[in-house]
């Protein structure tokens, strides 16, 4: 399998960051993606692409990652929801 690197312009996004053991990541994502979408739909922005998962640290007992979605315009985060690019 060939790997191709792609670079994208920064886009506003909404994410929820968490950490979980590798075997618990699927259930965590199943909870986070609907929460991100619900937040985006209640905001002034609209989804600008598919949901994504960004791994921030891997290995060890817990992996840190964030589940998110790009949005059409910057939106302020609230609670565990963070604004990012």
Tokens of 84: 């990012």
At 16-43, the pLDDT tens digits run: 999 999 999 999 999 999 999 999 999 9
Cβ proximity of 74 and 12 under 8 Å? yes
Q: Is residue 33 part of a domain?
A: yes
Q: Is residue 32 part of a domain?
A: yes
Give the Cα separation of 65 and 38 in Å (integer): 19
CA 41 to chain centre: 15
Q: Is residue 26 part of a domain?
A: yes
User: What's this model's pTM, rounded to 2 decimal places?
Assistant: 0.86
pLDDT at 58 over 90: no
CA 56 to chain centre: 11
What's the number of domains the chain is made of?
Answer: 1
Print the domain residue range for 63.
21-84
Q: Is residue 13 part of a domain?
A: no
């Amino acid at each position: 399998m060939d790997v191709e690197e792609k670079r994208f312009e920064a886009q506003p996004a909404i994410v929820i960051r968490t950490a979980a053991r590798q075997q618990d990541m699927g259930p965590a994502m199943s909870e986070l993606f609907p929460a991100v979408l619900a937040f985006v739909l209640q905001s002034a922005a609209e989804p600008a692409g598919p949901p994504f998962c960004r791994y921030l640290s891997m290995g060890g007992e817990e992996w840190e990652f964030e589940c998110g979605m790009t949005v059409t315009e910057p939106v302020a985060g609230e609670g565990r929801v963070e604004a990012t690019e």
